[in-house]
Amino acid sequence: MKIVILGTGEVCRVLAPALLSLGHEVVVGTRDPRKTMTGNPHYRLLAARHPELRLASFTNAVESADRSGLVVNAISGPACLDALVPLAAGLTGHVVMDVSSPYDWSRPDAVLDPVNTDSLGEAIQRALPGSFVVKTLNTLAAQVMPDPEVVAPDHTIFVSGDDEEAKLRVGDLLSAMGWRDVLDLGGSRTARATEMMLRMWIDASAALGTHLLGFKIVR
Amino acid sequence: MKIVILGTGEVCRVLAPALLSLGHEVVVGTRDPRKTMTGNPHYRLLAARHPELRLASFTNAVESADRSGLVVNAISGPACLDALVPLAAGLTGHVVMDVSSPYDWSRPDAVLDPVNTDSLGEAIQRALPGSFVVKTLNTLAAQVMPDPEVVAPDHTIFVSGDDEEAKLRVGDLLSAMGWRDVLDLGGSRTARATEMMLRMWIDASAALGTHLLGFKIVR
């Protein structure tokens, strides 16, 4: 299917090759394509390795999207709402796979915002009222997202969203990536649960000395 | 060793028999022992089954505690600070194993409080400045706390606290209960991480239709 990835950071650089290798057509959206090609050496390397990858402005990337495909929100958490709001009309009818965290990694002592009484996933769904937002993959380091085996064969990936069909489409993609334990937590409100696990991810990563970990819901 | 359990709710009713069967001496502290014996049929049943269990007022229970033992905070989250503050002097020099959650189960749409920028574990450590507070077992249903095998042989239990010796004492008790994967997350600040997992515990329990689940940090 056709997959549009919004954002050119680490998540894009990991997901794009994985999605290409699964046979999908991938378009990457960025604020300013020229700036990305000149000022982002990591992205330039990715583009050189994968000439089939298309780069476009956010608006053009969304225009090229297919309603039977997926749009991935891989814009960094604190910035993504400002970037997504102007795209709301173009994203109407689309499934948006949201992998963001409400956390500013550039601040040394950041806390989650929003949290507890709201989530970034819910805020994105409110900002994109015509889209079907599915929160997933936000409990992991980028490099583990498209390949659970980077950590271990069996850990849990969570999906949250209000539209059942959208969750099934995302679940199929997760299965194709190798995720065996896909746990549908429920509506978009349950994004609070996965976003709040970031605190454990950060502390457990520090305690264990590795970001390569996953959460298994043992039952 | 001598273990004082503060609180006569579900956690006490599960932990007390488990600790007795491990050979520990157990004293239970409550607001009003007479009221507990007349108004709390669950506790009366426990006391009838375990005549070696001693019941005392909070103050008397703490007075009977041993600094080489443990005091367990099993008072319900929203109420525990008010109950603990008057006991601060008596608890000086004691290891306090805190299993509380900052969550009011009696409210239909409760949220965590405190959360994110603080935790109940840290608040308890501040309220008991002379004690060595260790947060643990707060990521599980009560019946799983003293026996991980109720869910499965291998899942993770977390400890958070500022005193290394206190964490080792709690860790030894956890090992005796059968916990094999005891993860020391760090200082009391890391209680935020385990307390924030309550949201996932609630949502995953609802999605899976069981409270009998655990978290394994796969690495």
Q: What is the pTM of this model?
A: 0.97
Using CB atoms, which residue from A116, A196, A217 is nearest to B213?
Answer: A217
Q: Which residue of B has its CA nearest to A206?
A: B185
pLDDT of residue B112: 97
Mean of the pLDDT values across residues B33-56?
98
ipTM over 0.95: yes
pLDDT band of residue B165 (cuts 50, 70, 90) is very high
* Separation between Cα atoms, residue B97 and residue B179, nearest integer Å: 16
Tally of residues, chain A = 219
Phi, psi of A203 (to 5 degrees): -70, -40
Residue B108 has pLDDT above 90, yes or no: no
State pLDDT tens for residues B176-197.
Answer: 999 999 999 999 999 999 999 9
Using CB atoms within 10 Å of the CB of residue A88, give its burial: 0 to 12 exposed, 13 to 18 middle, 19+ buried. Answer: middle
Phi, psi of B172 (to 5 degrees): -60, -40
Q: Is A186 left (phi over 0), alpha (psi -120 to 50) or beta?
A: left
Confidence of residue B105 (pLDDT cuts 50, 70, 90): very high
Per residue in A56-105, pLDDT (tens digit) is 999 999 999 999 999 999 999 989 999 999 999 999 999 999 999 999 99
CB pairs under 8 A between A and B: 106
Is residue B62 within 8 Å of B91, Cβ to Cβ? Answer: yes
Residue B109 pLDDT class (50, 70, 90 cuts): confident
Query: For residue B143, what pLDDT is reported?
Result: 97
Measured CA to CA, the distance from residue B151 to residue B177 in angstroms comes to 14
Q: Is the pLDDT of residue B159 over 90?
A: yes
| Residue B105: count of CB within 10 angstroms of its CB | 11
| Residues with Cβ within 8 Å of residue A197, at least 6 apart in sequence | A139, A215, B196, B197, B200
Burial of B68 (0-12, 13-18, 19+ CB in 10 A): exposed
Closest CA to B65 of B145, B1, B125: B1
A203–chain B Cβ distance below 8 A for any pair: yes
Residue B44, pLDDT > 90, answer yes
- A82 and chain B in contact, CB less than 8 A: no
Q: Do B116 and A199 touch (CB under 8 A)?
A: yes
Q: Chain A contacts of B202, Cβ < 8 Å?
A: 193
**Angle between helical axes of A120-127 and A77-84 (0-180°, round to 10):** 10
- pLDDT < 50: residue spans in chain A: none
| Ordered structural domains, chain B, with CATH | 2-208 (3.40.50.720)
Whole-angstrom CA distances from B52 to B12, B16, B18 are 15, 11, 13
What is the SS3 string spanning A111-136? CCCCCCCCCHHHHHHHHCCCCEEEEE
Query: What's the pLDDT score for residue A108?
Result: 87
Q: Percentage of chain B with pLDDT > 90?
A: 99
Q: Is A217 on the interface with B (CB under 8 A)?
A: yes
Q: What pLDDT does residue A138 have?
A: 98
